[in-house]
Amino acid sequence: MVEGPGHIPINEIEANIILEKRMSGESPFYMLGPITTDIAPGYDHITAAIGAALSSAYGADFICYVTPSEHLGLPFPEDVREGVMAARIAAHIGDMIKLGRKERDKEMSKARRDMDWARQFALAIDPERAMEIKGKRDNGDEHMCTMCGKFCANDILMGMFTNDMEGSDKR
C-alpha cells in the first residue's frame, strides 16, 4: 500500500493520485485527508472531507479521517466522531462518482418528497443525529419539513397536481 500526502490543493488531487498509482504499479493508495486548505484550523475535518471525496472519486482506495482538532491538539471523543462522520460522508460521495452508487441517494430523495421521516432516518448516514435535530425543531406536523412550513414546495406541487387531477375527472 502506498500512503499519499496530507495537504494538497484541490486542483492537484487527481494528478497526484494518477501519478502515485502509476508509479506504484496500481498498488492500493491511502490518501491522508487531504486537507485542501491550511487556513481553517478547527474545521480541518471539513477541508479534508472535501479532499477525500475527490480523492475517492479519482481512484484513492482508502481515505483518512481528520478531526476538527487537527493541528490544534489531541482530539476528544466528540472530535473523533465528527472526523469519522465527515470521512464517511466523503467516502459515500466518492463512491457515488467512482462506483456509480446512487441508489441510496435516490431513495432518500423519494423519502423526502413523500415526507417519510422513518425512511429518511433509516437511510441517513447518521440516523441518531438526524432524529435529534428533527426532534429539536418540531413543527407539530409530520407531513411538513421544519424549513418550509406552509410554503413547502412538495405540498404546493402536490396540491396543484391533486387539483389538476380532480379537475380532469370532472370534464
148 versus 3: which is more confidently predicted?
A: 3
Residue 148: pLDDT band (50, 70, 90) is: confident
pLDDT at 162: 61
Tens-digit pLDDT profile for residues 6-45: 899 999 999 999 999 999 999 999 999 899 999 999 999 9
Rounded CA-CA distance 101/120 in Å is 18
Percent of the chain with pLDDT over 70: 85
Rounded CA-CA distance 18/71 in Å is 28
Q: Is the pLDDT of residue 171 over 50?
A: no
Q: Is the pLDDT of residue 165 over 60?
A: no
Q: How far apart, in Å, are the Cα atoms of 52 and each of 9, 65, 126? A: 12, 9, 19
Handedness of CA 63, 29, 36, 98 (dihedral sign): negative
Full-model pTM: 0.82
Q: Is the pLDDT of residue 69 over 70?
A: yes
